[in-house]
Structure 1
Amino acid sequence: VGGSRLRERLRGYAGRAPVQETLMATYRSMLELKIPTRRAALLTGVSRTTANRKPSPPRDQTPVVPRNKLNAAERAEILAALNSPEFVDLAPLQVYTKLLDQGIYLGSPSTFYRVLEDNKQVKERRRLAKHPPRTVPELVATAPGQVFTWDITKLAGPVRGKYFDCYMMVDIHSRFIVGAHVHTTESGALAVEMMKGIFGIHGIPQVVHADRGTSMTSKTVAALLSDLEVTRSHSRPRVSNDNPYSEAIFKTLKYGPEFPERFASVHDAGAFISGFVDWYNHHHQHSGIGFHTPANIHYGDAAGVAKERSATLAAARTKHPERFTTTTDPKILALPGPAWINQPKEPTEELAA
């Protein structure tokens, strides 16, 4: 009998026995008749792996209770000891040892923890300091001269352990470095001196943002900004993303191919930073501002440059229309919009409704 005909015939017995059990019984009968297992499996449709698998032994439904399990009274005694006025502020291991010193054994330390967990008392039992949530700084600049951000980075000196401090301030809208100085020390007085020079050249901004370094939070800097009616803004503790523009410029500075491993003197470091600022402001085409130089954005020349680029693209599009898939200029060349530090998320339609 062919395999398909055999399976059809066996399905006729489904009313008297499950099909799978019938197929298994037929498979075993074929083996008794010395039919090869591969042939028997092919005819019955039974997997040889399934047929040769040993049935698992029946499970005993009666739960096994460990002989050393504590009864309810003993567990209550442990919980009462842990919550007693004498031990309520101590860790379970300390309670365990103190009870041993008193000649008392109620259970193992792991049992103490299990009892606490069963009663939802496994947590920090000491009083911990609670830090209030920090306000996320949200700043926006729609034009140059509105928001300045500054920071200080270390420059390696001539010997190990010797560093110079580079003070740098940038306009977040144009990415223009409005000032950079190198000193041998870090202090609020030097920061105030730098700010006075920058404000005298580029004007007084509305907001000055910085992290929470000692110079940034110094009284001298706070007094200057207060006298000039400039809003002070600071990053949250241990959140470097709150000062992204300064951090990005420092990475561009230190990851450049010409950045030396060490500087011979503070004058050498100052000369290098001066050259970097000139290149960054007037020659570096920044991807975040439409591949314009920061100087073009800062001094209002970017619109003219963008118009010339658009005319060049239009001429190329007219000459070779088959090489262009759109009639608009690439988005990467668009003039920059508002510059944000921690732009707030727009509410969803459901929340707005």
Structure 2
Amino acid sequence: MYQIEELGPELYRIALTRSLELSPEALRQPTNVYLCGPAPWALINAGHPALHAEDLSQALSECGVRSDQIDRIIATSWDVSAIGGARNFPQAEVFALSPDMLAPRDLEMITERRRAALKTRATELAAVIEGFDAPAVHAWIERYYPRMTRSLNVVPLRQGMRVRAGRLELQVHDTAGVTPGHMALFDEASATLFSGDIALSGLPSRQSDPATYATSIERLAGLNPTLALPNFGRPFERARWTLVRASRFLNNTLSSAASALFNGPTIIEFIERDRGYELQEPVELLWSFELFKALFDELVRTRTIQAEGQGVTRRYGVDVEDPRAEARTPASNPSSSNPG
């Protein structure tokens, strides 16, 4: 399933809408691949290697381009939804961010780190939440992060370099706060920004370093872009204003978090208090947990809040000695009547 939107002369947004069952809400948005011409044709990102392969091929054909005419792929990150589909274009050069200018080849090693980290977290959640379906989550992780190649030929990019995609001359902007190896791409002539996984509204679906992430948004706004093209969801005009708004939202979220963390909740308790109901979808809970853990640990690092404990039972708040009600009953409690 896909939609094609013409954004300019030989510039197309291909919105790929197929997702796995149990996928978290953040991954149900359309995944965008951008086709840039004229020939030799380039793609900004290549989609998921399995979920999107057939749809992307059909969409390219509808745009009058064969898959074997794709000359290069510029991946905004090492995530499976950005670089994973490159394996379906064996003739194309693949460009990706590599600050040390080494040419990484083992994409499976990078993917396995993510796969293993999520599985470990799912196992930890299952140990304290009765009813948390860890096997289902592990199965979802295996499908969303399939085995990748160990021999991917990559042209390494670093901050400030320029790379062509059709008629666009894109400057590389390192935005490692999203994930290590993440970048945005800016065409000065058209003031078009390929913003990658930077969230243009609401909270991001993922971030590894909130402080660097916040700085990255401010730096991108300083480019004065007029059009922002994200990896997920719709494009945004008035791009500079959108980035400034996103920066303010993130800063307000961080500055107001301390007051929201009354009674020193765990992350699970905070998520369900914020939503107003217990999350029954285990993958959604896992994905939300990872996001808020990065945010709250940054607040602890900057001494905005205190924390007590470790892992999934760690409590965050201004005064962790306050009495607090539990939103969940630990699995170890045989009297639990509130399964998650």
Question: Which structure carries more helix by proportion?
Answer: 1
Whether TM exceeds 0.5 here: the answer is no
